[in-house]
């Protein structure tokens, strides 16, 4: 039968994990209470870290996926050329980039800034000129249509598809007309006149990304090239087999194209936003790690009190022949057990919340009658969660290291106690 070292049994008893009979003493109950508070502090800190980082991961993933449901993985801009000419020649560019096996679909586009006017309402928008027949290969727009069909956009008909949020803001429905103004004016005998065109709403879409649903409009690429011939950019949109490799694929494609073609991937176009999220995640980890650090200091304090409370026990063990190293290991075991139990409790609790946050948050919102993420303010209206193994392991290891470091000083102090002095005062 395997015989465990006695330091393990005594350390477990001091940590509050020993038998109930061993904890009937008043001093033992006090030590167990202090150990329990230390465990609770570590567990709360670890759980908070896991939940917050999971929510930030989910927020980043959800916004990214909703962005890429409307935006392409890679865009090729043709500079120094009229948008109308680019649209007519886009297939030659597409054939060239489709030689890369990672490219799965291509479609032309015209990008411009404009304004929509409906009665007294005037809204600044981003205009995307697209080819309805090929757009489904590079985005999820055809599957996000709320009313009408994307194929209702026909060259020369000057139809427009708006986000459902933008349509509601303007108060328009399918079949209504809106006036679009281009930033470039026409010069005629009467002077400068704004360049504008009436468009008919042929459908609405909803991507779930409030910023796009309220500011992004789609028209036929030919119509867009005519209206924005001086101010628009034109080129080809691509969808690749792995969006995470989009920067690498974009660089490979860029090396094969002439100098008047610029290649940009989705991470570059939204680089500021994603960099801000990563910075916020790192800072949030450091800030919330302070909760675990405070719990570790609490553990250190509890062990110092335990050493003070157990001086008589230490003196008796030393009198029976225990070495200073064995005494130190008793309190190392005590602190390690508190840290391990607290960390495991925090990991399990944090994972339980992180994996069920889509149920917990709506329940809280119904109880208090308020919404945590209003669509008008945030990109998304629900609280997502994406627990990642790497984050959970990092948090758990960090907590264990802090707990073990906190046990070193009290263990050293316990090993330095002299039994003769302790017993003389007792």
| The predicted structure's pLDDT at residue 301 | 80
| The predicted structure's pLDDT at residue 396 | 92
- Over residues 377-411, the pLDDT tens digits come to 555 667 788 899 988 999 999 999 988 888 888 88
Give the rounded distance of the alpha carbon of 413 from its chain centre.
45
- Over residues 183-230, the pLDDT tens digits come to 776 655 555 566 788 999 999 998 877 788 888 999 999 888 888 877
Integer angstrom CA distances of residue 89 from 47, 94, 96, 106, 222: 56, 9, 12, 13, 12
Antiparallel, parallel or unpaired: β 216-220 and 159-163: antiparallel
Q: Return all residues near 287 (Cβ < 8 A) that are at least 6 apart.
A: none
Q: Taking the chain, what is the end-to-end CA distance rounded to the nearest angstrom?
A: 38
Question: Residues of the chain with pLDDT > 90: what percent?
Answer: 15
Helix (H) or strand (E) holding 236: strand 233-240
Question: Considering only CA atoms, which of 289, 292, 372, 396 is closest in space to residue 59?
Answer: 372
- Over residues 334-369, the pLDDT tens digits come to 888 888 889 999 999 999 999 988 888 878 878 887
User: Which residues sit opposite 78 in a β-bridge?
Assistant: 234, 261
| The predicted structure's pLDDT at residue 51 | 92
Angle at 59 between CA 56 and CA 61, to 5 degrees: 110
How far apart are the C-alpha atoms of 343 and 295, rounded to whole Å?
Answer: 11
177 C-beta neighbours (distance < 10 Å), count: 12
| The predicted structure's pLDDT at residue 421 | 63
1 pLDDT tier (thresholds 50, 70, 90): very low
| The predicted structure's pLDDT at residue 81 | 77
pLDDT at 376 over 60: no
| The predicted structure's pLDDT at residue 15 | 65
| The predicted structure's pLDDT at residue 353 | 92
Question: Residues of the chain with pLDDT > 70: what percent?
Answer: 86
**pLDDT mean over 164-185:** 87
3 pLDDT tier (thresholds 50, 70, 90): low
How far apart are the C-alpha atoms of 160 and 178, rounded to whole Å?
Answer: 9
**pLDDT mean over 311-328:** 77
Q: Return all residues near 229 (Cβ < 8 A) that are at least 6 apart.
A: 82, 83, 84
Contact present, 350 and 291 (Cβ < 8 Å)? no
| The predicted structure's pLDDT at residue 23 | 45
Lowest mean pLDDT: which of 162-171, 231-240, 276-285?
276-285
- Over residues 51-104, the pLDDT tens digits come to 989 988 888 888 777 777 777 888 888 877 778 788 888 888 888 888 888 999
| The predicted structure's pLDDT at residue 22 | 43
How far apart are the C-alpha atoms of 213 and 161, rounded to whole Å?
Answer: 11
């Amino acid at each position: 039968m395997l015989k465990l070292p006695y330091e393990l049994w005594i350390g477990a008893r001091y940590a509050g994990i020993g038998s109930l009979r061993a904890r009937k003493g008043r001093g033992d109950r006090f030590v167990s209470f202090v150990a329990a508070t230390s465990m609770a502090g570590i567990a709360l800190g670890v759980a908070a870290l896991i939940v917050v980082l999971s929510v930030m991961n989910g927020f980043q993933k959800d916004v990214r996926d909703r962005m890429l449901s409307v935006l392409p993985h890679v865009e090729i801009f043709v500079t120094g050329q009229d948008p109308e000419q680019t649209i007519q020649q886009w297939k030659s560019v597409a054939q060239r980039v489709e030689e890369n096996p990672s490219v799965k679909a291509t479609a032309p586009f015209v990008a411009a800034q404009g304004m929509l006017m409906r009665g007294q309402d005037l809204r600044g928008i981003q205009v995307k000129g697209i080819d309805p027949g090929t757009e489904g290969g590079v985005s999820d727009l055809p599957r996000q249509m709320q009313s009408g069909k994307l194929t209702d956009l026909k060259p020369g008909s000057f139809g427009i598809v708006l986000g459902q949020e933008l349509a509601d803001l303007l108060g328009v429905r399918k079949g209504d007309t809106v006036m679009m103004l281009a930033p470039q004016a026409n010069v005629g005998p009467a002077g400068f006149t704004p360049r504008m065109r009436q468009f008919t709403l042929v459908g609405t879409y909803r991507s779930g990304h409030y910023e796009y649903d309220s500011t992004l409009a789609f028209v036929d690429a030919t119509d867009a090239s005519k209206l924005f011939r001086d101010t628009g950019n034109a080129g080809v949109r691509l969808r690749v087999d792995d969006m995470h490799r989009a920067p690498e694929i974009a660089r490979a494609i860029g090396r094969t194209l002439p100098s008047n073609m610029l290649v940009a991937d989705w991470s570059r176009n939204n680089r500021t936003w994603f960099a801000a999220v990563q910075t916020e995640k790192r800072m949030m980890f450091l800030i919330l790690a302070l909760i675990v650090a405070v719990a570790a200091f609490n553990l250190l304090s509890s062990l110092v009190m335990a050493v003070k409370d157990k001086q008589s026990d230490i003196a008796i063990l030393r009198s029976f022949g225990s070495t200073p190293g064995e005494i130190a290991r008793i309190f190392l075991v005590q602190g390690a057990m508190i840290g391990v139990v607290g960390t495991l409790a925090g990991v399990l609790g944090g994972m339980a919340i992180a994996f069920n946050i889509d149920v917990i948050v709506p329940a809280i919102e119904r109880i208090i009658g308020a919404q945590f993420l209003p669509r008008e303010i945030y990109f998304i209206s629900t609280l997502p969660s994406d627990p990642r193994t790497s984050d959970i392991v990092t948090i758990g290891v960090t907590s264990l290291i802090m707990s073990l470091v906190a046990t070193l000083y009290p263990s050293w102090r316990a090993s330095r106690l002299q039994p003769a002095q302790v017993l003389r005062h007792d």
